Chains A and B, each alone.
Chain A
């Protein structure tokens, strides 16, 4: 699914999404839930804003010294008996993972939730190698059954309603009683728990992502609420971690700072249920745990973001707060963005990873309301970076001709203030005159994109510049 981005068709995707009643019903859960929960839990911790600064500073320091922290971390993984595999590209990462699975003679491969796995389209590669990948996060399991991509980075099935999940379970779990009751969500959860429990116990290899890699100790960290990531990594003989280079943090103390803002920003919990720190394979005397521990470290375009105006994006800890608060995401959901990462963080990251020629619509799909930046736990200036992409798109002549010529006309006037004032005054008066009866327009030439969906109000009370002048005069 994720192999071929549909980001170039964002506009068409968005139109479809707006018409999709099931999707719109499901999206109302995002609008209601996440925002209130985050606000409540942030208000309970007086140090929350200071911790956001601290998290930002830790990530900045790490990125500025990323080469050195990667070295330290790698040495520590080796000391603990683990293996590190470096992957420049998605292809190299897939190959490294498939090789480990093949060598183990694996049949069933369980997986914890990982966006990097989506980014490199790992499941298809595992299947092509004749093995069965099983997603174990409830949301990921549901979308795997539907052959869909996640629509949210922490709530992959947020675009679905319980009735859809019920019909998928009935379609796939044909070994169960067809007359069973699945009308309550908790019955769906219980069924998934039973079905997946067998997979956990049968798996030969378990693959998880990593929220963090710790240089001090060579540790990988996963954060989950379900416990699926843990069952994925402690039961099979082999645990493979797939992580990208920017997941590094220096110390256990540093990761604790960031963990204090992660769950609060993501789900509005003070702490997620399971935060698990894994260091190497099982030790002498251990009666459980994996016999081999591998980390596949992926670059895939990230090193090229360092030292550019997009370096700040590498601070992202994938909490999802930006999309939870985004009016565009609320309207169209995650699939419309057409690739792995939706919402504001995706609008900035996707052009870096798959090219602005493919993902150029995404940074344009923003009202610049700034809510994303205001809730980002590591204070990434997302609107500013979307603006950078728009500039790059314009400079590289990727912007559509109508927009370019429109901007050209605007620029002509903007460079000539007297003419600008005259023209805007004239335009405003004309609109005010023609709209004086209704106070609004239901259609306007060249503005169908606006008036097809809502009325355009007739201007009243002078141009912005007139009002600005009057108010400044009143103040001084």
Chain B
């Protein structure tokens, strides 16, 4: 018997089941089909300005920084300003996301290159799929236009989020992914990012910049 068959046999013997029971199969099918929500904290059910204010507050609590701008056209200037404030070179790496492509980078002095990261980039710009106010979490999905390496290799991560994409809870974002990709399907990688990289492994002291970006700067676009 194969290892697979033996493991299934052992699980079923221990549970006292055959795997053919209709009620069990129906219960499992139904749970996967309906994906019931469970408990969503009250703070994850806000809307409007209160939702955005909570997102901002929670993101700051994770030691991310955040700027708000009124529209996409204002993003390159805001980023140029952030780089000046932080004493960083005016050089950016980004993917081919069309939302980034629409922005007027050429009106700034920023030097922009495109593609995945090979580890040599100091600052990367990514466009988030969504933000979650509950914990100030950024949600990024992989794809040809959004290389995952840009989320992790550069020292400084700048992440753009549309205000209309901020949701109260993780569940709201899963629903959007199901609507986009189809129920039961996922992008290859979904990254939840909640603040800059850190470690407490040396004497339980909080140190930023372990392996991922030592800084996460969010640009929240629109109202």
Contacts and interface: CB of A to CB of B under 8 A. Distances in A.
A88 B6 contact: yes
B63 to A, nearest CB: 10
A445 interface: no
A306 B194 contact: no
A279 B187 contact: yes
B200 interface: yes
B85 interface: no
B188 A253 contact: no
Nearest to A85: B3
Contacts of B169: 256
A222 B153 CA distance: 18
A260 interface: yes
Contact of A26 (B16, B189, B203, B210): B203
B200 A274 contact: no
B8 A304 contact: no
Interface in B19-69: 19, 24-25, 27-28, 31-32, 35-39, 41-42, 58, 61-62
B94 to A, nearest CB: 12
A276 B6 CA distance: 31
Interface string B146-176: 0111011100000000000000011100100
A102 interface: no
A86 B4 contact: yes
A80 B211 CA distance: 28
A287 interface: yes
Is the interface on chain A under 10, 10 to 19, 20 to 34, or 35 or more residues?
A: 35 or more
B35 A216 contact: yes
B7 interface: yes
A67 B209 contact: no
Nearest to B189: A278
Interface string A276-312: 1111111101111100000001010001111110000
B194 A138 contact: no
Contacts of A88: 3, 6-7
A227 B19 contact: no
B202 A165 contact: yes
Given A215-B32, A286-B188, A289-B148, A68 B198 contact: no
A253 B11 contact: no
A157 interface: yes
B171 A256 contact: yes
A155 B200 contact: yes
Contacts of B205: 185
Nearest to A186: B207
Interface stretch (A1-9, A58-66, A397-405): A58-66
B127 interface: no
A155 to B, nearest CB: 6
Interface string B112-151: 0001101100000000000000110100001110011101
B31 A86 contact: no
B38 A254 contact: yes
B186 A274 contact: no
Contacts of A277: 186, 189-192
Contact of A225 (B32, B135, B147, B198): B198
A270 B64 CA distance: 14
Contacts of A281: 188
A65 B27 contact: yes
B149 A234 contact: yes
A68 B19 contact: yes
Contacts of A156: 201
Nearest to B41: A47
Given A225-B197, A225-B198, A280 B188 contact: yes
Given A188-B202, A234-B148, A304-B10, A253 B212 contact: no
Interface string A18-41: 000000001001101110000000
A162 interface: yes
Contacts of B213: 227
B202 A162 contact: yes
Nearest to A47: B41
Contacts of A356: none
A138 B24 contact: no
Contacts of A124: none
B165 to A, nearest CB: 18
A228 to B, nearest CB: 4
Interface stretch (A173-181, A244-252, A358-366): A244-252
A156 B204 CA distance: 11
A119 interface: no
A306 B11 contact: yes
Interface string A203-219: 00000000000011111
A137 B39 contact: no
Interface stretch (A189-197, A338-346, A453-461): A189-197
A98 interface: no
> Which one of B28, B41, B193, B213 has the greatest number of beta carbons of chain A within 10 Å?
B28
B3 A288 contact: no
Given A231-B152, A257-B38, A275-B192, A138 B170 contact: no
A189 B207 contact: yes
20 contacts: A26-B203, A30-B204, A47-B41, A47-B42, A51-B39, A65-B28, A69-B28, A139-B199, A185-B202, A189-B199, A231-B152, A250-B35, A256-B174, A259-B170, A260-B41, A269-B194, A273-B196, A275-B192, A283-B144, A286-B147
Interface of A: 26, 29-30, 32-34, 45-47, 50-51, 54, 58, 61, 64-72, 76, 80, 86-88, 92, 136-139, 142, 155-158, 160-162, 165, 185-186, 188-190, 193, 196-197, 200-201, 215-219, 225-228, 230-231, 234-235, 245, 250-254, 256-257, 259-260, 267, 269-283, 285-289, 297, 299, 303-308
Interface of B: 2-4, 6-8, 10-17, 19, 24-25, 27-28, 31-32, 35-39, 41-42, 58, 61-62, 115-116, 118-119, 134-135, 137, 142-144, 147-149, 151-153, 169-171, 174, 184-205, 207, 209-213
Shortest 8 CB-CB contacts between residues of A and residues of B = A227-B212, A226-B210, A285-B144, A139-B201, A306-B14, A303-B10, A275-B192, A86-B4
Given A193-B209, A250-B31, A271-B62, 20 more contacts: A29-B203, A46-B41, A65-B27, A72-B32, A88-B3, A162-B203, A217-B185, A251-B35, A253-B35, A269-B194, A270-B61, A271-B194, A275-B191, A277-B189, A281-B188, A286-B144, A288-B147, A305-B14, A306-B11, A306-B15
